[in-house]
Amino acid sequence: MIDIENLSKVFGARTLWRDVNFTVHRGEMLALVGPSGSGKSTLLNCLGLLDRPSAGTIRYGGKDITRFGRGDVRRFRRDTLGYLFQHYALIENATVAENLDVVARPRRSARGRGKGAEANDGRSAVADALERVGLAGREKERIHHLSGGEQQRVALARLMIQRPSLVLADEPTGALDEDNSTVVVDILREMSQDGCAVVIATHDAGVRERCDTVFKVGGALPAPSRAAVGSRG
Ligand SMILES: Nc1ncnc2c1ncn2[C@@H]1O[C@H](COP(=O)(O)OP(=O)(O)OP(=O)(O)O)[C@@H](O)[C@H]1O
């Protein structure tokens, strides 16, 4: 589904990674592993079109997304991509429901339904997602009153409502205890079984073990005298 071909990233004289090649299919979870500073987040950001590779292509559904213009990038982010971050990226002063409505609203209006139907759809999508992440009935609570694990589950509920086909997760369990980490990976696994491709940058051995594929991003190398750094393993 997403094909990374001969991807390289160079910052000045420094080659972060070179000739990175892998494919992530629907239903597959891939772990990006490697030492701190090896460029896992940068690689994720290239996949999410938040950063540009120095060379190579990223194909999604056969199209080279690195060549997308502004409109295509916006649509790709809105319709295809879901991001999950270590520190949740929620609006802390807002309630759980308000955070989820942010993504529920555009989907409803994009379908062009009447106002009443939109409101009902939105409420049930929010309630369904909260139930799936074990937070049923918590709509009115403010984000800053929730634990870290609960906040990450709200972020996961937001992803479920968004229904992306590609999920990019950057250290999603980095701030969580083991039980909450397990819940997060369980939910990502469910999303992959529903047809998502999931890419997770992680230092967490427990997360890596639950992934179908592991791609190792090597350490930073001076350009251009050292060999390619990415390998499956
Ligand atoms: N715009 C930039 N210009 C120069 N260097 C950058 C830029 N963005 C990232 N880097 C460098 O690239 C390296 C890789 O950073 P990145 O955050 O991708 O690594 P990581 O493997 O995700 O690290 P960690 O596991 O610690 O989160 C770092 O040394 C960082 O300083």
Interface confidence (ipTM) of the complex? 0.96
pLDDT in tens, 168-219: 999 999 888 888 889 889 999 999 999 999 999 999 999 999 999 999 997 5
Cα 227 to Cα 8, 10, 221: the distances in Å are 12, 14, 8
Q: Is 36 helix (H, G, I), strand (E, B) or coil?
A: coil
Q: Which domain does 127 fall in, by range?
A: 93-163
Cα 71 to Cα 2, 8, 68, 74, 176: the distances in Å are 20, 25, 8, 5, 36
Residues 7 and 74 placed together within one structural domain of the fold: yes
Count how many domains the chain has: 2
Residues 126 and 54 placed together within one structural domain of the fold: no
User: Domain boundary residue among 163, 190, 209?
Assistant: 163
pLDDT in tens, 41-86: 999 999 999 999 999 999 998 899 999 999 999 999 989 999 988 8
36 lines ligand 1 (CB under 6 A): yes
- How many angstroms does the Cα of residue 15 sit away from the middle of ligand 1? 11
- Closest-lying ligand 1 atom to the alpha carbon of residue 217: 21
The answer to whether 180 touches 4, Cβ cutoff 8 Å, is no
225 lines ligand 1 (CB under 6 A): no
The residue whose CA has the least distance to atom 6 of ligand 1 is 11
pLDDT in tens, 93-105: 999 988 998 787 6
| Residue 233, pLDDT above cutoff 90 | no
Instruction: Describe the chain by its helix, strand, coil percentages, rounded to 5.
Output: 40, 25, 35
Global pTM reads: 0.85
The pick from 16, 50, 207 for probing ligand 1's pocket by mutation, whose C-beta has the most ligand atoms within 8 angstroms, reads 16
- Closest-lying ligand 1 atom to the alpha carbon of residue 11: 4
Confidence of residue 223 (pLDDT cuts 50, 70, 90): very low
Confidence of residue 89 (pLDDT cuts 50, 70, 90): confident
188 lines ligand 1 (CB under 6 A): no
User: Domain boundary residue among 136, 163, 190?
Assistant: 163
Residues 175 and 61 placed together within one structural domain of the fold: yes
Does residue 110 sit within a domain? yes
40 lines ligand 1 (CB under 6 A): yes
